[in-house]
Amino acid sequence: MYIIKDYQGKGVGTMLFRHAIKELIRLNMPSMILWVLARNPYRKFFEKMGGKEISSRLIRIGNSDYEEIAYGWQNLSTYLKLDAQISP
């Protein structure tokens, strides 16, 4: 997920993330793992969204190796309940 610079910091990413969670729950997928490049400066967004770092791995892109971090959400319904308590 990438939000172009003009829309960063305006809640667009959070809205998209919430929508994705709701859709996964609708599809009877109660948990989620998301892989993010460790060098990605925006990966903290997923920590803010409640993701817990659960694993890492090296991947090869072209001739270079990159570290990826896996963030996990064990119970998406719990995420939505917590999110509803702090959302305006």
Could you tell me the domains of the chain? 5-86 (3.40.630.30)
Please tell me the predicted confidence (pLDDT) of residue 86.
46
Residue 69 to residues 5, 25, 32, 38, 74: CA-CA distances in angstroms? Answer: 23, 23, 14, 6, 16
User: Can you tell me which residue has the tokens 């971090």?
Assistant: 69
Closest by CA position to 57, among listed 67, 44, 71, 47: 67
pLDDT tens sequence across 12-67: 998 999 899 999 999 999 999 999 999 999 899 999 898 999 999 999 999 999 99
Q: What is the pLDDT of residue 77?
A: 86
Report the pLDDT averaged over residues 76-80.
81
Q: Rounded CA gap, 21 and 19, in Å?
A: 5
Given pLDDT bands bounded at 50, 70 and 90, which one contains residue 82?
low
Confidence of residue 70 (pLDDT cuts 50, 70, 90): very high
d(CA 52, CA 73): 7
